[in-house]
Amino acid sequence: MFQDRVTAGHQLAELMEADALPLDLVLGVPRGGLPAARAVADAFDVPLDVIAAKKLGAPRNPELAIGAAASDGTVWLNDELIDRLGVADSYVDEERKRAMSVAAEKEATYREGREPPAIEGKRVAIVDDGIATGATMKASIRAVRNQGASGVVVGVPVGPPETVRDLRDEADAVVVVEQPRSFGAIGAHYRDFTQVSDEEAIGYLRT
């Protein structure tokens, strides 16, 4: 169990440094991923920015992710689940547009007027405080690839083994401090999982 997100970020940074991963840029997932992302960016002495993606909720069950979309419209879809539920293409498209809009608005809020970072040719790490299903992370990875990144690394303190395996098909490397077989919620693996406020999250980007 991690003490808090900052402590977890330092442990993650140490593991990434031990793997000798070359990085040019770290992207933190707001809000909870930014304390850990700040620790990784500082350890590698590279810039920190933000990346957001939102899940596409299933009809009549918005908590069930049928996919996720990033701010640029890049989407990852769980085609098997969509087929099983019989979700219409028109519904998926509307959900994609909604999720894209929410993600874009969130990134704009956190950047405070700054331009998005140049991704092309960069070796990029995407950092969050944990992963569960990996839906939004997959959309984020694809968005970074679509912008021309030369390499994409995922870094998280905790995640279930099956999700980590799935992400390895999407990213060039996945670095995870702990992979408990009995996973549960991300917050169950932290002693202090107090919600990160917008102001605090933006502060990590200003540092």
Q: Do 124 and 24 meet the contact criterion of CB atoms below 8 Å apart?
A: yes
For the stretch 38-86, pLDDT in tens is 999 999 999 999 999 999 999 999 999 999 999 999 999 999 999 999 9
In this structure, are residues 25 and 40 in contact, taking their beta carbons and an 8 Å threshold?
no
Domain check: are 190 and 91 in the same one? Answer: no
Q: What phi and psi, each to the nearest 5 degrees, are found at residue 113? A: 90, -10
38 and 84 inside one domain: no
Neighbours of 60 (CB within 10 A): 7
Name the residue range of residue 174's domain: 5-52+118-206
Residue 96 sits in the same domain as residue 143 = no
Do both 128 and 40 map to the same domain?
yes
State whether 128 and 194 are in the same domain. Answer: yes
Question: Which two tokens mark 58?
Answer: 């299933």
Q: How far apart are CA 185 and CA 17, in angstroms?
A: 27
Q: In this structure, are 48 and 64 located in the same domain? A: no
Q: How far apart are the first and last CA of the chain?
A: 27
- Regarding beta strands 25-28 and 173-178, do their DSSP bridges make them parallel or antiparallel, or are they unpaired? unpaired
For residue range 97-145, what is the model confidence (pLDDT) as tens digits?
A: 999 999 999 999 999 999 999 999 999 999 999 999 999 999 999 999 9
The answer to whether residues 43 and 123 belong to one domain is yes
Identify the bridge partners of residue 127 per DSSP, sorted by sequence position.
28, 155
Same domain, 94 and 167: no
On whether the CB atoms of residues 134 and 166 are closer than 8 A, the answer is: yes
Same domain flag for 166 and 178? yes
Q: Are residues 144 and 102 in the same domain?
A: no
Q: Give yes or no: residues 90 and 183 share one domain.
A: no
pLDDT band at 207 (very low <50, low <70, confident <90, very high): confident
pLDDT computed for residue 20 by the predictor: 85
Rounded Cα distance between 28 and 50, Å, is: 5
Q: Say whether pLDDT at 196 is over 90.
A: yes
